[in-house]
Structure 1
Amino acid sequence: MVFTLFSSHTRLLAATVLLTAGFSGCKTATTPIQQAAPAQPVILSIGDRTFSTDDFFQAFTKNQISGDSAGRIDIKEYFELYTNMKLKVLAAEAGGQDTTEAFREEMATYRKQLAQNYLTDKEAVETLANEAYQRMQQEVDASHILIPVAEDASPADTLRAYEEVQAIRKRALAGEEFGQLARQFSKDAQTAQNGGNLGYFTAFATVYPLETAAYTTPIGSISAPVRTRFGYHLIRVNNRRASRGKVQVAHILLRISPSADPAGQQLVKTRIDALYDRLQKGESFEMLARDNSDDATSRNNGGILPPFETGRNVPAFEEAAFALTTPGSYSKPVLTNYGWHILKLIGRKLLESYLELAPALRQKVVTDTRADVLRHALEQRLRREYTVTEDKTTLTALTAKADSSLLRGQWKAVSLTDAALLNKPLFSINNTPYQVAPFVQYVQQKQSPRQAGSDPAVVMQRLYNRYLVDQLIRTEEENLDRKSPEFRALLTEIRDGVLLSAMMETNVWERSMADSTGQRQHYEANKNRYKMPERVVATLIEASSDEQLKQVNTMLTASPYQLRRSSPAVTFGLNETAVPATGRDALYQLLVTMVRNGDYLVEVSGAQEAGERDTVSAARIRSVVSYLNRNGIPLTRIMEKDNKAFGNPANPRQVTFQFFSTNKLDVAKAINASKPNSVTITEGIFARGTYAMLDALPWKPGTVTTPDGNRLVQITISRVEPARLKTFAEARGTVINEYQAILEKQWLASLRQRYPVKINEDEMRKLAK
């Protein structure tokens, strides 16, 4: 059941209101300031406060729309909830909850968030989102030449860069090869020696002005100079192709250190080739990624990366990913500037419809560089709606005070030796003056180190423009509740929700949680209602074949369960017991596996060659055990097995490692590593209705195997737990919920005594028809 105004132990109401007031709901606030409306019929009076029929009906209608059909309630039930909510809010106001500093700060935050939805031009957002979607249907292969110039460069420096890029364009149009010009003139270190080639990319992969040039310049043509914060660019469009959609892969990454010499680089290549060989022999990609990948963000998830489209990764990685066609297939080792990768295809997905992508696209266009377009449009609208008068003389005088300290983010107001300047107005909005002094404080707060080549006067002008627009936006925010009835209603709803939550916290939730005596008394008075049904302790093993089921049962014969999974062995020199340098990597892999799998135990088996000292094998085991123990693996997770001279005849000086686990689920993982989805194991305490197959069996200890489609299910019931009353600890959650309801009912009864409730039955009858 969904009640927009009433059901919340947190600030969910405010979040819901803010969310529903987003792009899909609100219109740009350009409505004229409303005149006072005539008096409306009153449906409810609480104390000396009255509530109109129209306000109640709007709240009721909103609840009906926002709630699912199964949870909707009739108008009389809702009226009771509405009345209770208004009682609580009235009590909050009477207690001064709406005057506290915490409340004011919270409401200021909500107001600002809500105002953003009304300040954004929804039509402009939709236009940009649609444009982005149209672009996403194609991928562009482009090259560029960059002539850098600071975003805040002086006009002279900006002109110089522009003229330089125009001269290069003229040469390209005259027939000189673009790639050669890029190698000669472009200052983009990442692409210049590649002829300026950016590879294929799509919408949102680069800054908006560059993207626009790439999508609007014909194939084979060269764009006019494009200004970005990096400088001036020329774009040559080499090709376009249809979108390849998104691809999702898992990868194993072995990094190459930037300082690695050829021998070190070859060592990484040898390791990746060894992993590739192990994959070809049937080992699990997930296990190899988890135990070997240097990508810390993905290895614990089997190397799986988020889906991506063209232009989001380095070209070699992307091409290898998109070349895979069958889920589960994997690439040969691929070299990128990060190291060596092996990629496994998880899935491919074509570009979704605009209807599916629209919400995400709307969010993107207001947060990427397109936001500059939206802010400029907002500025233009507000300049039309408000009278802005700027004092250029004062601005010029102030700009002259900017010096190189502003470029370092260290400019201070003491630079202004003319005290009279601080009191002069910079501009006015609807005849309200904004003086220099507050702007100076703004500059000190907002300044930051600038690019080399920036000009102090240009930086000061940029900060001034931003400050003026900020004040226009603040003025608009202050007027929104008068200009927009919808904004005012939503803000009131948030306000009431915050007050309601605070009062419920104090009078119900905190009291119910803290009053352990009251909880216990309620439990004792009603304990016969808190019942635990009959349950069984059972294990369900689902297997793809009788052979797989036998394998599981064999592995589960005794705990800890042997997983038939090993880790690379360590080979010792003759009569040596200290771990050799060649074995450190193997020990590190073993340690990583043990750390990542908390239920694992490891059997450390040592041996010795005929002719070595009798104590050598035991000493080798101790060296390994000591290493693991020093690095946080307790001795309780290590099993020692001394084979003496009866180890592996082919390599008798090895210490080998076998994994065991105390968790049955690890057995399923070990089997599925070589044959995916062949086994599932579920164990727990189950009541009737959890599993139909379990319900169909006699509930008594024993094991039954039954077919389920083309699979087998083995059900083992360890014991039956008869129905009984729940203990206080088991029932506590339900007890607290019920106790809260009692406290709330008592509180509401006291509020009704303090604030008499009167209902206009005539108005109720009209609504009930």
Structure 2
Amino acid sequence: MMKFFSILLFLLFTISFQAQNKNEDVLFTVDNDPVYASEFIRVFNKNLDLVKDESQKDIDAYLKLFVDYKLKLKEAKSLGLDTLPKYIRELNNYKRQLAKSHLADNKVTEALVNEAYERTTNEVEASHILIRLDEDAKPADTLEVYNKLMKLRDRVVNEGFEKVQEDVHDGETTFAEDLGYFSGFKMVYEFENAAYNTPVGEISKPFKSSFGYHIVLVHNKRKDRGKRKVAHIMVGLEKEDAEDRIQDIYKKIQQGEDFKSLAKQFSEDKSTANNGGELQPFSGGELRSQEFEDAAFAIDKIGACTKPFKTSFGWHIVKLLDKIAVPTFEEAKHTLEAKVKKDSRSKLISTSRVNKLKERYTISNADAGLTYFVSILNDDYYKNQWETPKDFSADKIFLTIENKEITNADFANYLLKSRRRVSKNLSLNDIVENAYKDFLETSLLTYEEEKLEFENEDYAHILGEYRDGLLLFDLMERKIWRAASQDTIAVQEFYNANKKNYFYNERVEAVVASSAKKKDINKVAKLLKAGKTFEDIKKVMNTKNEVRVLFTSGTMEANHQALPENLPFKKGVSKICNHNDSFVVVKVVEVLPKSTMTYEEAKGRVDSDFQDEKEKKWLTSLAEKYVVSINKDVLKAVKNQLNQ
């Protein structure tokens, strides 16, 4: 619990806004570094609804955690963790992602979200022909591929897709494939556009994507099928009798026994068994098993079940609980917006944004600089061997955005990084012009992002959370979390000193028999008392056409799903109990008393406890290393404000 809450804190605590008024009340200092009351109040209020433990809502207790958090930050920075390349790289990646949500062109985004909703709620069945072609292919090569596809298009119209597919598909340069049904975001955006804009029964004109040139034949279009809510019973493949067991369970369902009860007793999907096998609702393409998805969507009537079927996870029986309609636009809007911003169509948003930035910012004319770079490039660039000449004017201003100066060296570095992506089909002049276009866009976006933290308070706080969270994660990993794996002797000694804390509760080796009918379980109880094995009893009670009893055996604690509550742990056959809407009887073969776990058995818990203890001692040392001074008058005012 302590480790979880520590992580929660450093992920949620926020830094003060960059433009914060330095005259604000200082709640405490860490080696003279001020921590403002406003920051503590904001963090306390933000986290208040996220914690369930009332003690964590106590202001003094929370202040102690907040001080510990600031001590860790101080230590991380003193160790220079905020200067490490890995930290800077991860932070910059996050900044770029976060900035997208604050700087996107809302009008373009809205149009794309509307389009995405229409496409995700309608599916297209299509086939396509693709001829691979480099994105920077020569115009003559592009024209040749285009004309070839136009001829193939005519053949598909006259001869049919299957005939053309047989003739041209080679799986290397030319692909002719049936794609089945798909919806929005399942294909690259250019392909998606062509498929949705082509009428049923028609074939598109050739179009380009990052893979090459395509034509797409649309066979059908249909509305999305919505979601399905199901429950399932699963038997793992590792059991030798897995198929027999699932068939026995299926027979009990056919006999009228309750699906939910059977799932609680026998399903080996531990994440759903206690809930009667219920899964979260899912739509097409969301599950890792296509067989499971197909079986679920094939059930027509709510309450109906599939026959047993096999997937890579095990044997299943699926029951349809509900059919969920396609969400409304308002319900889907937030999710679709996030997808749009991650998808290739986001290029449309960034292009619109760049065009507005070109109008917003004053940009110097770089024509002279471009001419200079064309003059210093040579054929070595195509070989990835080009370097700037010895007399290169590195510090000369190449470009100015507002008051930000960008030098020749900056653009040269961009050219050097771009060498591997350049086609030999481009002239040196085209290379420089294309690079400048991309470089200018990148520079404009970077400039706007650099200013954002000082202009947008919400962005600054969110970025601060991640900045400090990433820093503290690195610190905790170095100082605490790696300790268990690196210092095995210390962990073993910790276990030896605290061995009494690691134990098994009283357990039983038992066989549990379950049946929907009391008369059947009465018969089982008599047979168990007579010393019959459960294999013998199965032969008596179960037949090919009827399964009247199922058995579960093994070592079990009192909370095992198969055991009735408050079952006395003593050898012998128990009384008949009502459990999970069925009747059960338990034969206790042996009672295993409370016993100490071995080091290997307790290792997971030992590692966690060892880390907690190490963290406590470490925090004590940090409190001695860095002087913390709390302003009691400000703290009193903070408490008055928070308690109102």
Query: Could you say which TM-score interval applies, normalised by the shorter chain?
Result: 0.5 to 0.7
Confirm or deny that 1:465 pairs with 2:437. yes
Cα offsets for 1:510-536 (capped at 9, x unmatched): 889775698479749xx6xx5968613
Confirm or deny that 1:755 pairs with 2:628. yes
Query: Where do residues 367-378 of structure 1 align in structure 2 (5 Å cutoff)?
Result: 367-378=342-353
What's the CA shift for 1:61?
A: 1.3
Q: Determine the C-alpha separation between the residues in 1 that align with 2:543 and 2:170.
A: 47
1:239/1:66 Cα in 2 relative to 1: closer, same or farther (>3 Å)?
same
Q: Determine the C-alpha separation between the residues in 1 that align with 2:141 and 2:19.
A: 54
Q: Determine the C-alpha separation between the residues in 2 that align with 1:2 and 1:74.
A: 16
CA contact (8 A) 2:120 2:183 kept: yes
1:430/1:725 Cα in 2 relative to 1: closer, same or farther (>3 Å)?
same
Other-structure match for 1:353: 327
Other-structure match for 1:213: 194
Cα offsets for 1:339-374 (capped at 9, x unmatched): xxxx99968876653677667645543444324334
**Counterpart residue type for residue 379 of structure 1:** V
1:365 counterpart (322, 340, 343): 340
CA contact (8 A) 2:380 2:386 kept: no
Percent identity over the alignment?
24
Query: Where do residues 706-725 of structure 1 align in structure 2 (5 Å cutoff)?
Result: 706-708=576-578, 711-722=582-593
Query: Where do residues 560-639 of structure 1 align in structure 2 (5 Å cutoff)?
Result: none
Other-structure match for 2:120: 136
Q: Secondary structure at the match of 1:328?
A: coil
Other-structure match for 2:555: 684
2:70 counterpart (86, 98, 101): 86
What's the CA shift for 1:224?
A: 6.3
What's the CA shift for 1:54?
A: 1.3
- Greater shift after overlay, 196-205 or 730-739? 730-739
Superposition CA RMSD, Å: 6.1
Query: Where do residues 182-581 of structure 1 align in structure 2 (5 Å cutoff)?
Result: 183=164, 199-219=180-200, 226-231=207-212, 233=214, 237-245=218-226, 309=284, 328-329=306-307, 352-353=326-327, 361-362=336-337, 364-389=339-364, 391-392=366-367, 394-395=369-370, 398=373, 401=377, 406=382, 410-414=383-387, 420=392, 427-430=399-402, 432-435=404-407, 437-448=409-420, 455=426, 461-497=433-469, 500=472, 519=494, 523=498, 530=501, 535-544=506-515, 546=520
1:683/1:417 Cα in 2 relative to 1: closer, same or farther (>3 Å)?
same
**Counterpart residue type for residue 481 of structure 1:** E
Q: Secondary structure at the match of 1:699?
A: coil
**Counterpart residue type for residue 45 of structure 2:** T
Cα offsets for 1:478-531 (capped at 9, x unmatched): 33332333333344444444565566677777889775698479749xx6xx59
CA contact (8 A) 2:9 2:69 kept: no
CA contact (8 A) 2:510 2:587 kept: yes
1:243/1:128 Cα in 2 relative to 1: closer, same or farther (>3 Å)?
same
Q: Determine the C-alpha separation between the residues in 2 that align with 1:241 and 1:517.
A: 62
Q: Determine the C-alpha separation between the residues in 1 that align with 2:331 and 2:546.
A: 36
Q: Determine the C-alpha separation between the residues in 2 that align with 1:510 and 1:412.
A: 43
Q: Determine the C-alpha separation between the residues in 1 that align with 2:543 and 2:584.
A: 16
Other-structure match for 1:119: 100
2:34 counterpart (34, 42, 50): 50
Q: Determine the C-alpha separation between the residues in 2 that align with 1:234 and 1:434.
A: 44
1:2/1:64 Cα in 2 relative to 1: closer, same or farther (>3 Å)?
farther
Q: Determine the C-alpha separation between the residues in 1 that align with 2:446 and 2:570.
A: 72
What's the CA shift for 1:60?
A: 0.8
1:109/1:553 Cα in 2 relative to 1: closer, same or farther (>3 Å)?
farther
1:40 counterpart (24, 27, 31): 24
1:704 counterpart (540, 556, 574): 574
Q: Determine the C-alpha separation between the residues in 1 that align with 2:563 and 2:296.
A: 42
Structure (1 or 2) with the larger CA radius of gyration? 1
Q: Secondary structure at the match of 2:570?
A: coil
1:232/1:717 Cα in 2 relative to 1: closer, same or farther (>3 Å)?
closer
1:766 counterpart (623, 634, 640): 640
What TM-score, normalized by structure 1, do the two folds share?
0.56
1:154/1:375 Cα in 2 relative to 1: closer, same or farther (>3 Å)?
farther
1:76/1:696 Cα in 2 relative to 1: closer, same or farther (>3 Å)?
closer
Q: Secondary structure at the match of 2:344?
A: coil
Q: Determine the C-alpha separation between the residues in 2 that align with 1:490 and 1:464.
A: 33
What's the CA shift for 1:427?
A: 3.9
Q: Determine the C-alpha separation between the residues in 2 that align with 1:243 and 1:61.
A: 42
Confirm or deny that 1:106 pairs with 2:87. yes
Cα offsets for 1:671-708 (capped at 9, x unmatched): 99999997352532525x66795553433211226253
Higher RCO (CA 8 Å, separation ≥ 6 residues):
2
What's the CA shift for 1:203?
A: 1.6
What's the CA shift for 1:212?
A: 1.8
CA contact (8 A) 2:116 2:336 kept: yes
Q: Secondary structure at the match of 1:696?
A: coil
Q: Determine the C-alpha separation between the residues in 2 that align with 1:673 and 1:412.
A: 76
1:80/1:147 Cα in 2 relative to 1: closer, same or farther (>3 Å)?
closer
What TM-score, normalized by structure 2, do the two folds share?
0.65
CA contact (8 A) 2:113 2:336 kept: yes
What's the CA shift for 1:413?
A: 0.8
**Counterpart residue type for residue 6 of structure 2:** S
1:742/1:41 Cα in 2 relative to 1: closer, same or farther (>3 Å)?
closer
Cα offsets for 1:440-496 (capped at 9, x unmatched): 544444444788x95455566544433433333443443333233333334444444
Q: Determine the C-alpha separation between the residues in 2 that align with 1:460 and 1:672.
A: 81
Q: Which runs of 5+ in 2 are unaligned?
A: 233-242, 251-280, 310-314
Q: How many residues align?
A: 567
Q: Determine the C-alpha separation between the residues in 2 that align with 1:493 and 1:534.
A: 42
What's the CA shift for 1:75?
A: 3.0
Q: Determine the C-alpha separation between the residues in 2 that align with 1:204 and 1:428.
A: 38
CA contact (8 A) 2:81 2:471 kept: no
Q: Which runs of 5+ in 1 are unaligned?
A: 22-32, 251-277, 286-305, 332-342, 564-666
What's the CA shift for 1:78?
A: 1.9
Query: Where do residues 639-654 of structure 1 align in structure 2 (5 Å cutoff)?
Result: none
CA contact (8 A) 1:540 1:716 kept: yes
CA contact (8 A) 1:139 1:201 kept: yes
